[in-house]
Amino acid sequence: MSKMKRIFPAPCPDGDTTPFQDGEDAWFWFARCQMMRRDGARIVSGLTMTPRPCVPDDVYRTVMGLFRRNHLDNVHLQVLGSYGEKMCPPDEYVGDEKDHVPVWRDALEKLGKALQKKGIVE
């Protein structure tokens, strides 16, 4: 017996939403949401000073779609995850981090373009 996918529309706050400036802005927002979830918070759309045009899972699904289509690889995911947890991008002037800068920029450029197509990034 085949499973049917249940599709629910994303919750939409009453009023206007504010798209993210770029992929990095969206990624750090997603990372903050993930850390809050890990700490037990429930993410509820519309309960914020800046309503966003998506839910955190939309950013995750976009990253994983890029990964499945081989636009991002494991190194991209590791760098995104590591610096997402730190809540700051890699620093080109720090020895251990400077090799991560081009990977970070590449990943966020691809993420930003994909999110822009969905109206999540300006």
What does the pLDDT look like over 80-89, one tens digit per residue? Answer: 999 999 999 9
pLDDT tens digits, one per residue of 48-59: 678 899 999 999
Q: What is the mean pLDDT of residues 62-73?
A: 98
Bridge partners for 20 per DSSP: 121
Whether the predicted pLDDT of 6 surpasses 70:
no
Helix ranges, the chain (H): 23-38, 56-68, 74-86, 101-117
Whether the predicted pLDDT of 1 surpasses 90:
no
Reported as a pLDDT band with limits 50, 70 and 90, residue 16 is confident
